[in-house]
Every structure is written in structure tokens, then in C-alpha cells.
Structure 1
């Protein structure tokens, strides 16, 4: 079993700080737009935040309920109340800090100990709690952070009014995406047996691959939105339908109830709008090639569309800059993608469970969080 290290703990602390600052920046930006009379932008920013918070709280509470199954469920009442007031993620951060500190700083090395021994047990607790947080942060990243980044970039391009709060929101969005994607990949590596650690170089390659491809795609969507908001909405809905249909075809089994499973598939469909994820832990070279080939074709198509639809805009400096950034980030992102999958991507995949229709099976309570939940989650 991989160890929860000091580096993992510092990444956890950094993620908490980014999460709290991101909440503050969201309300600050929304209040700025509201005070300037731009009510639609203010409401849109708050809607992204509210929707993301609601969905993450639902999944967090559902996981608490699954983990408490067969035990004393009295604590579920106050856990429900905390999640009802949108603070469930802070409970998970509290446990993560508690177990993470014990695992990283207060334990001596005991590599030969069994998993029932206290040192390894605390290590497993720390990894399990942080894994749950990273899964929730993936939801938050693509339900709130990434759409907000698109909105802020669109506002800057449409109105050409630069102010500090907009730049702060964009910077925080990039930081949120960065921490979320790297922490998620770390959790995946820790879930795969007999794999090397996720070293600094592989983390950077993975980070640049995700960040650059997402940035290119967001700029592309912003460009087509400038041409036609209706066309942009139709494109996003079409892409969501494609992603949702793919999850149906994959027969995902992440949740116990059908309602939660369809909610999960709906969320994964939204995630697939912005980036590729392997939702079954299988080899997907063909799928990832089709995914990014489609993104490349759409991006180039949008740029060519400007030439025929609004050629006057091409002469403007901001369009030139955005076009260059879009193409450059796409090319570099694809290069980092090829390097990552060629040199750093783990070749092992999580084994399917004995009971495919259930997340947790009949394993012990402590095993269920690690071997059940994550192995049915989206993987990359």
C-alpha cells in the first residue's frame, strides 16, 4: 500500500486554501457585477456555485450514508444537517487533516505491518478520506470552476473591460483546475497496486496536458459564443448528450440507487464537455483519439468560421491574441498528452468487483471506501 506522505499533506492543505479562497472570490465577483448593474452575470456566477455545491453535498452525504451502513446511524442526522447547510465538504476536510497529519508526521515507518495494525490503518484512513475529497473536487471543478472560467474569459472578450476582480476569478479558476486534476491523478495512482509513485515530472506533464487542452477548448467556446450565443448553447447541449449517451453505453455502476447513478452519469456528461475521462478504467486509445480529434476539428472550424462570417473581427488585436493562444495551447496540450500517455501513464487498470451492480459489495467497512468507490469512479 502506498504511503500518505508529507508532500500529500501539503497538497491537501494547498487544496483547502484554494477552495476557501475560491468561494470568497466567487461572492466578491458576483457582488461586483451586482453593484455595477450587471445582474445576469452575477446570477450566473452564483448559479454555478450553487449547483456545484448542491451536487457535491448530495454525493458526499450519499457516501457517508453508504459508509455508515450496518453501523450506528445516529450520527447521520447531524451529518445530514451539515450537508443541508452546504458545509459537508468541511467535515471531510477536517477528517482529512486529522488522519493526514497522523499518517504523515506522527508515525514511524512500519512497512512490514499488516493492514490491521494501527500505522497502516491510519495510512489507509488518510488515503481513503482524501480520495473522497478529490472525487468531489472533480465534480466541483467541472460544474463550477471551469464554466466560470469560460464566463470570465467571455466577459473580457465581449466587453473589453478589465478589472482586478475578473483577473482574480480567472487566476483562482486556473489554480482550482490545477490542484483538482493533479490531486485526482495522485489518488488514482494510489488506488492501483504495484505502481510507481506519481513523481514531480509526471505531475507537471499531466497538469500541462489537462490545463492546456481545457484552456484551448474554453477559448474556442468563448469565440463561438461571441459569434452566436445560441450556437454556443446548441453545441454544449449536443456535446453533453454525446457524453451522457457514452456513459449509458458504458453501463457505469458507481452508485447503489438508480436515481444517484443517473445523476452521476449526468455530471460525467458535463465533465466530458471539457475534458476526456476514462469512466470504466479500460484502455481507451481509440476513444481519446476521437475525442481530441473532434475538439481539434471544432476549434479549427470555429477559427475558419470567423473568416467567412465576421472577417472584420479578424483585424482586431484581441481576436489575434485569443486565436494564437487557442491554437498554441491546443498544440502544446496534445504534445503533453502524447508524452504523458507514452511515458508516464500507468498501464494497470483497476480490477472489476465481484458484484458489478453494487459499489461496496460485502467487503469490510474500511475496505469499501478504497476498493469499492474509487474503482467505479471516472479514471484517467
Structure 2
């Protein structure tokens, strides 16, 4: 089992700071729009925030119920009350800081010990609680941050105003996407057995792959929204339906209840609108090729549609710049994707261990070890 290190703790603190600042920036932008009497944008941003918070609180509370099954019901009532007021994530951050500090600064256990070894208990607790947070942040990223980024870029392209608050919101959105994607992949490596450490170079390649492909897709959607809002909404709904149906066909088993499983599949359908995820941990060469080939065709189709119709809402020079950025980010994103999956992706998942290298006690401990929730989560 990998260890929770001091750099991991620093990233955890940084994630908390960005989370709090992101909330402040959201309400600041909303207040600015209200003052400018742009009520529709304010309501839309608040809807993204509210919907994301509701979904993450539901999953967070369900995970607390699953993890604390058989414990005092009084604790669960307090946990429910905190989640009802949309503050459940802060409880998880408190546990993360508590166990993370102990694991990073006070534990010196060996890395080869079993997860059930008492000396590694704090390490496992720290990794598990941070993993849960990063899972929730992935939900938040694609339910709130990415749609907000799309809205902010659309407003910027439509009105052409250089407002500081808009740039601040865009920067915070990119920071949120960056931290959540990298932290998610780091947690994946730590939580699943026999994964290699996620070093700096793979992190950068993975980060650029995600950011560039998502940026290209958001710019494309901004263009089609300027062309026709109805067409944009129709395309989004169609892509969500395709993602949801594909998720159904994968027969995911992430949640204990059927209702939560369908909610999970619905959320994954939204995530698949913006980026690719392998929800079953299988080989993805065919799926990911189809996914990004479709993105490329749709992106080029949107650009050609703009060239054909030439809507007056956007200046030609602006369209040229956006088109170059869209194509360039898509090409570079796919290049980084190929680099990541060719040289940095952990292709060996749960490598078999030689039985002769384990004592009977170690074998029993491995069999009794409870599998982490992350093994049922979307695995890339």
C-alpha cells in the first residue's frame, strides 16, 4: 500500500483553500450579475452550484451510512443534519486533515505491510478519506465547474466585455478542473493495489490531456450556443442520453441501492459529455478512440457550420482566434492522450502475487481486507 506523504497533505490543504475560494468567487460573480440586472446568468450559475451541491451531499451521506453501518444512529442523525445544510464536505475535510496529518507527520510504518496491519491503519484511513473527497470533487467538477466555465466563456464571447470577475471565475474553474483531475488520478493510484506511484511527469501529461480536450470541447459548445441555443441544448441532451445508455450497458455496481446506482449512472452520463471515463476498469482502446473521434467530427462540424452561416453575433477576428484555439487544443489534447496511454498509464491492474512470497497470515489478511470504494468507481 502506498503511503500518504507530506506533499499529499500539502495538496490536500491546497484543495481545501481552492474549494473555499471557489465558493466565494461564485457568489461574487452572482452578485455582480445581479447588480448588472443580468438575472438569468445569476440564476443559471446558482443552479449549477445548487445541483452540484445536492448531488455531492447525497453521495457523501450515503457513503457515511455505508461506512458507519451498525454504529450509533445518533451520529448518523447529526451527519444527516449537516448534509441537509450542504456542509457535509467540510466534515470529510476535517477527517482528511486529522488522518492526513497523523499519516504524513507522525506515522513511520513500512510500505510493505498489509492494509490490515495496525501500524498502517492511519495510512489507510487517510488515503480512504481523501479518496472519497476526490471522488466527490470529480462529481463537482463536471456538474458545476465545467458547465460554469462554459457559461463564462459563452458570456465573454457574446458580449466581448473584459470584466475582471469573469476572468477570475474562468481562472478558478480551470484551477478546479486541474486539481480535481490530478487528485483523482493520484487517489486512483494510491487506492488500487499494485499501482505505480503517480510521478510529476505523468501528472503533467495527464493534466494537459484532460484540460486541452475539455477546453476544445467547451469552446466548441460555446460556438454552437452562439449559433443556436436550441441546437446546443439538444446536442447536450443527446450526448447525455448516449452516455447514460452506455453506462447502463456496462452494468456498473458502485452503489448498494438501485436508486443510488441509477443516480450514479446519470451523473456519469453528464461526466461523459465532457470527458472520457472508463467506468469498469476494462481496456479502453476502442471506446476512447470512438469517443474522441466523435468529438473531433462534432467539433469540425460546428466550425464548418459557423463558416457557412457566418452569424453576425461574433466578429470574424474573434471567430478566427476561437477556431484556432479550438483546433489547437484538440490536437494537442489528443497528442497528450496518446502519450499518457502509451507510456504513463498503469496498464497492470491488480497484478498477481506469487503465493510463495506470502506467509499464511498475510494471505488471510489480504482475503479479509475490505475492498475500497474506489474499485467500483470510474477507473480510467
TM, length-normalised to structure 2: 0.93
Contact 2:194 2:350 in 1 (8 A): no
How many positions carry a matched residue from both structures?
A: 366
Question: What is the match of residue 11 of structure 1?
Answer: 11
The CA deviation at 1:7 is: 1.2
Contact 1:53 1:140 in 2 (8 A): yes
The CA deviation at 1:308 is: 1.1
Contact 2:191 2:372 in 1 (8 A): no
Gaps of 5+ in 2: 352-364
Contact 1:313 1:319 in 2 (8 A): no
Find out whether 1:290 has 2:286 as its counterpart. Answer: no
Structure 2 CA distance, aligned partners of 1:344 and 1:195? 11
For structure 1, which segment, 341-350 or 56-65, has the greater mean C-alpha deviation from structure 2 after superposition?
A: 341-350
Question: What is the match of residue 279 of structure 1?
Answer: 279
Structure 2 CA distance, aligned partners of 1:35 and 1:17? 27
Structure 1 CA distance, aligned partners of 2:274 and 2:180? 14
- Counterparts of 1:186-335 in structure 2, within 5 Å, are 186-310=186-310, 316-335=316-335
Structure 1 CA distance, aligned partners of 2:373 and 2:14? 24
Question: What is the match of residue 147 of structure 2?
Answer: 147
SS at match of 1:74: helix
Question: What is the match of residue 171 of structure 1?
Answer: 171
For structure 1, which segment, 192-201 or 114-123, has the greater mean C-alpha deviation from structure 2 after superposition?
A: 114-123
- Once the two structures are superposed, residues 156-194 of structure 1 have per-residue CA deviations (whole angstroms, 9 ceiling, x without a partner) of 000111201000000000000000000000011112322
Gaps of 5+ in 1: 352-362
The CA deviation at 1:69 is: 1.1
Alpha-carbon spacing, 1:112–1:310, altered in 2? closer, same or farther (3 Å): closer
Question: What is the match of residue 42 of structure 2?
Answer: 42
Question: RMSD over aligned Cα, in angstroms?
Answer: 1.7
Find out whether 1:100 has 2:74 as its counterpart. Answer: no
SS at match of 1:31: helix
Structure 1 CA distance, aligned partners of 2:259 and 2:116? 35
Alpha-carbon spacing, 1:269–1:114, altered in 2? closer, same or farther (3 Å): closer
Alpha-carbon spacing, 1:308–1:96, altered in 2? closer, same or farther (3 Å): same
- Once the two structures are superposed, residues 335-371 of structure 1 have per-residue CA deviations (whole angstroms, 9 ceiling, x without a partner) of 00000000000112369xxxxxxxxxxx99x954xx2
- Once the two structures are superposed, residues 10-45 of structure 1 have per-residue CA deviations (whole angstroms, 9 ceiling, x without a partner) of 111111111100000000000000110000000000
Alpha-carbon spacing, 1:374–1:216, altered in 2? closer, same or farther (3 Å): same
For structure 1, which segment, 145-154 or 116-125, has the greater mean C-alpha deviation from structure 2 after superposition?
A: 116-125
Alpha-carbon spacing, 1:174–1:191, altered in 2? closer, same or farther (3 Å): same
SS at match of 2:347: coil
Structure 1 CA distance, aligned partners of 2:116 and 2:335? 44
Question: What is the match of residue 339 of structure 2?
Answer: 339
